[in-house]
Amino acid sequence: MINFRSVTIDEKAKTARVQAAATLGELYYTISRTSRTLAFPAGACPTVGVGSHLLGGRYGMMSRKHSLAADHIVDALLINAEGEVLDRRTMGEDLFWAIRGGGGTSFGIILEFTVTLVTVLETITVFNVTPTLEENATHIVHKWKLVADKIDDNLLMRIFINPTSSPKTGSRTIAASFTSQYLGRARDLLPAMGGKFPELGLTEQDCVEMSWPDSLLYFAYIGNNT
């Protein structure tokens, strides 16, 4: 399947035709070369293959606003056990439903997807706030669990909990990194939180504005000057 990796963007229709062996990075890159306001809501790891990613459902940094990646599949090319190449019309709605989240290994070989793209602002906001245990991280994580689904749908906050060295004592401790994305400008982010999560201590100085393509590099820990 390694040669099935082309990506074709229809900017007017807001769709992409992406072959199954393309990576998310290749899909995102092609979108970014076409438009600054079109995007695709899938995972943050650019080396992940599109085929397995979409067939399993999958979420990403825009999923609160734009749902799962598989929800955006509007057509597919599939080879069945008889060697026939089928699209959505010829495979039927039951099989088309099954491959969007149910995996593809039991149903056929997927060659290509047609997916709808979403519209984003030219400038969005990211931030990373990382409290340690000494900075009340346990309480902050607990409060996040209570409010994360109640904050503006444009904001997705995810947490990475890792061992680290205390900046105060140098001893081993735990840090909770709130690595997040807001589909809007920094000036609108704090009002969007609606006072529901003051424990995080987020300030406008923590926020970095950038384009959606640059945010992909940010979340993949790749310098945006590459």
**Structural domain count, the chain:** 2
Question: Which range of residues forms the domain containing residue 136?
Answer: 124-210
- In a shared domain, residues 68 and 135: no
Can you give the pLDDT at residue 138?
95
- In a shared domain, residues 103 and 130: no
Q: What is the mean pLDDT of residues 175-184?
A: 96
- In a shared domain, residues 17 and 101: yes
Of the residues 64, 93, 119, the one at which a domain ends: 119
> Given the structure tokens 């909990």, which residue do they identify?
161
- In a shared domain, residues 75 and 131: no
Instruction: Write the pLDDT tens digit of every residue in 182-200.
Output: 999 999 999 998 899 999 9
Q: What is the mean pLDDT of residues 8-24?
A: 97
Can you give the pLDDT at residue 221?
87
Can you give the pLDDT at residue 107?
86
Percent of the chain with pLDDT over 90: 83
User: CA 54, CA 25: separation in Å to the nearest integer?
Assistant: 14
Q: Residue 2 falls within a domain, yes or no? A: no
Please report which helix (H) or strand (E) contains residue 27, including its range: helix 24-34
140: CATH: 3.40.462.20
- In a shared domain, residues 151 and 115: no
Of the residues 87, 119, 151, the one at which a domain ends: 119
Can you give the pLDDT at residue 132?
94
Can you give the pLDDT at residue 219?
92
pLDDT above 80 (res 82)? yes
Can you give the pLDDT at residue 104?
63
Can you give the pLDDT at residue 224?
65
- In a shared domain, residues 115 and 139: no
Torsion of CA 104, 106, 110, 114, to 10 degrees: -50
Q: Residue 48 falls within a domain, yes or no? A: yes
Instruction: Write the pLDDT tens digit of every residue in 107-161.
Output: 889 999 999 999 999 999 999 999 999 999 999 999 999 999 999 999 999 999 9
Angstrom distances, CA of residue 77 to CA of 51, 85, 105, 189:
12, 6, 14, 41
Q: Is the pTM of this model over 0.85?
A: yes
Can you give the pLDDT at residue 121?
97
- In a shared domain, residues 61 and 16: yes
Can you give the pLDDT at residue 226?
63
- In a shared domain, residues 111 and 144: no
pLDDT above 90 (res 201)? yes
- In a shared domain, residues 67 and 141: no
Q: Residue 174 falls within a domain, yes or no? A: yes
- In a shared domain, residues 185 and 110: no
Instruction: Write the pLDDT tens digit of every residue in 42-56.
Output: 999 999 999 989 988
Mean pLDDT taken over the chain = 93
Q: Residue 203 falls within a domain, yes or no? A: yes
